[in-house]
Amino acid sequence: MVHFLPSLLLVLTRAVLRLSRLCSWLLVYAGSFLALCFYSPTFLRVVAQGPGKAFRWRVRERPPDCLTDASFGQHCYVRTKNSGMRFHYVSAGEKGRPLMLMLHGFPEIWFSWRHQLVAFRDGYHVVAPDLRGYGGSDAPSGWESYKLETLLEDIHDLIEMLGYRQCVLVGHDWGGTLAWTFSVQHPEMVERLIVMNGPHLAGLQDYILSHPSQLLRSGYVFLFQLPLLPELLLSLADFKMLRDAMTSEEVGIQNPQHRLTDEELEAFLYSFSQPKAITGPLNYYRNLFSFLPVKCQDVLMPTLLIWGGKDVFLELGMAQLMRQYVQSRFRLEILPEASHWVQQDRPERVNQLMKAFLSEE
């Protein structure tokens, strides 16, 4: 009997794991169904305004002039050694100066860092890439190509291929979450960390467990788990949801001085209007639940967290929670009137805070 115990335990363990995965899958897709019900009135309103208009979107054939404006920096490409992926990035400032690597969020591209590329090029070699699946970078189609370890490997390879061993790492939204996680796993490669409206994964997990209201704000995450349908919904009425996310009075950029011009909005739509260009970014979300549960791991380098107080996607209370995950100097700066798109909404203030943080010993 004793000889059968190890085999029996192994079988039971595998059964429990399979049952756990099944339960997780059922919960996620139950959430997806509820999210679809929640967002359905919005989609129906779009269709009701005219089916012909709703199901019509266009591919932008040429980029707007602001995307090729040389004042923001030089457009470059690099192929990473491990994945063989080709990444597009915009570079400002002389190579050889300290590297400042900037990671954008969704639905953005390198262009969301245009104000920072100009502001920091005198002291740094500033690099703003299009992340995997975005803009001019390669975009594998399969969701398995967007696992967390793969995305972190991209950052590691980019730093090395640019000729550096260390950087000031800056991230917003999804780029901020990647920056938190990369700093935990590769502390030797991050001199200082600057995050904007992006949660540490352990912090997001812990906050949601004690604040279910955040789940309502994150309903789109469950919607994005569905296959194909989110791509269609985001494309409706010539990408109305994407346009509203960055320009509407409720969730878009709040500062009248920095609201996106038609040309700047087209800079984002140019990228997302290309064939199958939305699938790669959505695959980040489709892998999100595979990251959980997250072990509590601490950040060891000086960290600046900048948070737009009018973020409708992430509750402000989450920002306060991030302090406990940093075992070094931590500074939290809340900009009460700024939206989720904080570095575009209040670029002068954001740049000022970054410079003050970077100048400290």
Q: pLDDT tens digit string along 243-265?
A: 999 999 999 999 999 999 999 99
> Percent of the chain scored above 90 by pLDDT?
78
Query: Which CATH number describes the domain made up of 65-214+279-359?
Result: 3.40.50.1820
CA dist 134 and 139 (Å) reads 7
Instruction: Name the pLDDT band for 105 (thresholds 50, 70, 90).
Output: very high
Please tell me which residue, 15 or 341, carries the higher pLDDT value. 341
Q: In what order do the strands lie in the sheet with 125-129?
A: 74-79, 86-92, 125-129, 99-103, 167-172, 190-196, 303-308, 330-335
pLDDT at residue 8 above 50?
no
Active-site residue numbers? Answer: 173, 285, 340
Q: Where are the domains of the chain?
A: 65-214+279-359
CA dist 54 and 343 (Å) reads 31
Residue 23: predicted pLDDT? 67
List the single range of 23-27, 76-80, 120-124, 158-162 with lowest mean pLDDT.
23-27
Exposure letters 303-314 (e unless 16+ CB within 10 A, then b): bbbbbbebbebb
- pTM for the predicted model, two decimal places: 0.93
Instruction: Name the pLDDT band for 25 (thresholds 50, 70, 90).
Output: low
pLDDT single digits (tens) 123-181: 999 999 999 999 999 999 899 999 999 999 999 999 999 999 999 999 999 999 999 99
